[in-house]
Every structure is written in C-alpha cells, then in structure tokens.
Amino acid sequence: MATKCNGNRQDQFPPGNLFVAVSEGLWDNGAACGRRFRLRCLSGHNRPCKGGTVDVRVVDFCPKRPCPSNILMSNDAFAALSHSQKAKINVEFIQYTIILLLLLLRISVIIVTSIFHAMSKLGFIIFTGFDMNHGIILLSSLARLSWQIGMFKN
C-alpha cells in the first residue's frame, strides 16, 4: 500500500499494523510522518470502548474528503479500542514523545527526591516540600556544603 510518508516501503508499518492517517490539522506539511500517538476510546453509541490505550504511528495523510475525522485508524488499531468494527467512536490522543518526556521527568523527580531524602537523613539537606505538578523541589536550607562519601558507610 502506497502512503504519503514512505511510499511502498513495508518497514514504515509498525508491528501489529497499529498505524493511522491524519487529517490536514495534524499533518503539519508532512512533518507528522512517523509521529506516534497514544489513543484512548472515550465514547460511542452502544458503549463500543474496550478501555485502555493503543500506541500508533502516522504513515499517511487523510485528505479532506473522504477523511471522516482527525485520525483514520487502521483496522487493527480500531479493533484494539472498540468492540465493534462498525462503531463510530470518540477518541482522545496525545503525541507519544510528550508521554515519554513526562515519564522521564517523573522518573527524574523520583530519583532526585530519593537523593534529597537520603541526604537529609544524614543532615546535609533539610527537605521541606515538593510540588508534583511542576517538578519543583523546595529546599529551606543546606545544613552542610561539603559531602563526604565516607559518611555513607555503615
């Protein structure tokens, strides 16, 4: 199947054939090729949503007509979200790189928080608060400016 992104190349299709074509609003003059999105079914007639999410890759452009929506899913991607292949569903989507960045930020915050917690027990830092929404660590004071590895030994 020829696509606007990579023509007839078979390696453009992700495992499981979880791919989409996007409308002009998401196409970004072709820059959308290869972008990944996480989709989740929100609603539809007769409760078609299975629950959960599916990760898809953009492989094609969906022209204004007959494109029925912002995202036209492959049959396999649609089947991962809906019990019925004939259903019309409402989905929410987020670009996958944003998900990865948020995950990395969360992991980094957990690591930094753990380090500050361990250091505060040793009297190095007094940890006063943490704002999970913005990833901001608030320090009231530094108890000591120097740090010696030997102090961590039991």
Buried b (16+ CB within 10 A) or exposed e, 95-126: eeeeeeeeeeeeeebeeeeeebeebeeeebbe
The arithmetic mean of pLDDT across residues 30-57, rounded, is 92
pLDDT of residue 64: 74
pTM of the model: 0.61
Average pLDDT, the chain: 75
The arithmetic mean of pLDDT across residues 38-44, rounded, is 93
Q: Is the confidence at residue 2, as pLDDT, over 60?
A: yes
Q: Which amino acid is residue 127, in one-letter code?
A: F
Which domains, from first to last, does the chain contain? 10-98 (2.40.40.10), 104-152 (no CATH)
More confident residue, 145 or 124: 124
| Tokens read off for 146 | 């120097």
Beta strands in the chain (DSSP E): 19-22, 36-44, 53-61, 71-73, 89-95, 125-131, 136-142
Per-residue pLDDT of 47-76, as tens digits, reads: 999 999 999 999 999 887 767 778 889 999
More confident residue, 122 or 43: 43
pLDDT of residue 25: 85
